[in-house]
Structure 1
Amino acid sequence: MKGAVLYKYNEPLKIEDNLQIQSPKEGEVKVKIVATGMCHSDINVFEGKTPVPPPVIAGHEIAGIVEEVGPGVTRVKPGDRVVSAFIHPCGKCRNCISGHENLCETFSAVRLKGTMMDGTTRVRLDGKEVRTFLGGGFAEYAVVGENALTVVPPEVDLEKIAVLGCAGLTGYGAVNSAKIEPGESVAVIGVGGVGLSVIQLLKASGAGRIIAVGTKKWKLDRAIELGATDVVNSKETDPIKAIKELTNGGADVVIEAGGNEETIKMAMDSVRIGGRVVLVGLPPVNAMIPFRVASIVRNGITIIGNYGGRPRIDMPRLLDLVRLGKYDPSKLITGRFKLEEINEAVKLLNQGEAIRSLIIPD
């Protein structure tokens, strides 16, 4: 098997041609990969900000075809066209059985270790373990838990929907957790794959004014195309002042998808009294970002942390939105790269010149 392996943080990925992938164990599925989207969470792994121990294969927005299933698998069968979520629920822990499988306790315990649920890996190189991050999709094959997978209808292009696995599912979870009422004003801070997904889903949910905040004009133009009513370039104007002027005092809801100290503080300062702030952007794991707690308390601000949607419940709904034309994940795709070209895709994403690039193994 061929795959892109990270051996050391902040160094280029190396393409290995002789990786060995094991057969899936109980509850697991081997997928032949058609396309994998590249996300900033992958970049965080490459830079050590999300410190999965190398050697590791990243890539978690996976679309492909089921090649082999392990014992006990019932949700998919060989030949099925599937999309994988970045969340791999066990289906058995307290959170999973109570309807919160996006917060699976079993998966949470191994997520940053780069292993399967049993603490081992399925990829080897010269007899040594290679870890995988949330699936390890930057390769020709991946082994994932069956509960991460959703069967894709035959009329839907697999490449088109690969980014549902994170950008789409995270956006869905953010909008769902915000409990948007029709006509409410919403500011979306960050117009990458997640932010642009949020904007499309806000439009579908009946939000009123949708304000996109970012630093790249071409991305803000894309936001208008996908449903934003207003845009604010935070490099050219004071974004907090602009949001408050547009909403007569502050947005009802602010969804923060940037994941850094500046954008998180911006979210806290641009929501109206009694409003909600939904945090979905992921800063480095050890980041400590101070809040002005007194103003949050006095203003009755609700802060919601959201870690994506529920794969078995929300992914089918996302696919229905795609089929109905209410959410178009292909609008997030700005490049298509062979596996051997993956370091160029990393560079473009780091420079802010890409939204989502697809990595194609063949």
Structure 2
Amino acid sequence: MKAAVLYKYNEPLKIEDNVKIAQPKEGEVKIKIAVTGMCHSDVNVFEGKTPVPPPVVAGHEIAGIVEEVGPGVTRVKPGDKVVSAFIHPCGKCRMCVSGHENLCETFSQVRLKGVMMDGTTRLSLDGQQVRTFLGGGFAEYSIVGENALTIVPQDLSLDKVAVLGCAGLTGYGAVNLAKIEPGETVAVIGVGGVGLSVMQLLKASGAGRIIAVGTKKWKLDRAMELGATDVINSKEVDPANTIKTITNGGADVVIEAGGNEQTINIAMNSVRLGGRVILVGLPPVSAEIPFKVANIVRNGITIIGNYGGRPRVDMPRLLDLVKLGKYDPTKLVTGKFKLEEINEAVKLLNQGEAIRSLIIPD
């Protein structure tokens, strides 16, 4: 099959035509990929900031058709339209059975190794194993665990729902974890795919003032279209002070979706006394970002890390929100590219000129 393979960090991806894919094993599903969204987490792999060992095929916002199922699979069947979450829960560990499958203990042990739950890969090229990052969707086919998959209603197109696999599910998990009360003021730091998903879901959940913070005017304009009541360009004004001024003391909740030291510090300095900070953005794994702990303690700030949502519980709800018109994932898509054009999509994302690009293998 055809796939975009990373051989060395910070080098262009190479399109290979003869990657071999094995049959799915116990609990696994082979998907013929229709479309895969490109996320900054993929770019972090390409740059070695998320150090999955190459050669590796990335891509984790996958939508397609079930081609084949392995032994024991009961949730999907060949021919089903499916969307895959970037989280692949085992369904059996302590976290999964206690309702926290987004924190699956088994998956957490393998996700940065680029292997399946059993520690092996399903891809190879010229006799060498090829790893995958959270599904390996930049290819014609992918093999994932069945618990990552949700059947897509026939009246929804696959290119419409692909970005639910990460941007949508992460945004849903953040808003759900924040336990937003009607009318609460929420600041969202970062207006990429996750941040714009958060804003739509905040509006659907009854949040009051929704303040978007970013650096690109066109993205802030998109935020206003999708539910923001106020926008702040952090290149033009001090964002934390501005938030505190317009909210008379700070936001009740701040959801951080940028994943770098600057955006995290903005979040920590923008919340009111007794408020909540939800950290969603993923910095490089080696990053150490200091907090002023005394301020956190004295101000009674609650800091919560959020890693996505629960695929088997939250993804069906997201699909319902799409059908109801309360969440529109197409508003995140800024371009479509053939697999052979993937390096151009990477370039645009790195330059801040894209939110989500769709990669189409055919």
1:65 is matched with 65
Provide the aligned length of Structure 1 versus Structure 2: 362
Q: What residue identity is the alignment partner of 2:175?
A: V
How many Å separate the matches in 1 of 2:340 and 2:266?
39
- Deviation track 1:304-343 (CA, whole Å, cap 9, x = no partner) reads 0000000000000000000000000000000000000000
2:354 is matched with 354
TM superposition score normalised by structure 1:
1.00
How many Å separate the matches in 2 of 1:173 and 1:161?
17
1:84 is matched with 84
1:25 is matched with 25
State whether structure 2 residue 162 is matched by structure 1 residue 162. yes
Matched position secondary structure for 2:177: helix
Matched position secondary structure for 1:34: strand
**1:128, CA displacement in angstroms?**
1.2
Matched position secondary structure for 2:111: helix
1:142-181 matches, within 5 Å, as 142-181=142-181
**1:215, CA displacement in angstroms?**
0.2
How many Å separate the matches in 2 of 1:326 and 1:247?
26
1:1-362 matches, within 5 Å, as 1-362=1-362
TM superposition score normalised by structure 2:
1.00
- Deviation track 1:40-79 (CA, whole Å, cap 9, x = no partner) reads 0000000000000000000000000000000000000000
**1:167, CA displacement in angstroms?**
0.0
Stretches of 4+ aligned residues off by more than 6 angstroms: none
Q: What residue identity is the alignment partner of 1:51?
A: P
Q: What residue identity is the alignment partner of 1:124?
A: S
Structure 1: which 5+ residue stretches go unaligned? none
How many Å separate the matches in 2 of 1:134 and 1:153?
23
**1:245, CA displacement in angstroms?**
1.1
User: Matched residues, percent identical?
Assistant: 85
How many Å separate the matches in 2 of 1:303 and 1:310?
20
**1:241, CA displacement in angstroms?**
1.1
**1:224, CA displacement in angstroms?**
0.2
How many Å separate the matches in 1 of 2:225 and 2:85?
26
Cα RMSD (Å):
0.3
How many Å separate the matches in 1 of 2:169 and 2:296?
28
Structure 2: which 5+ residue stretches go unaligned? none
Q: What residue identity is the alignment partner of 1:34?
A: A
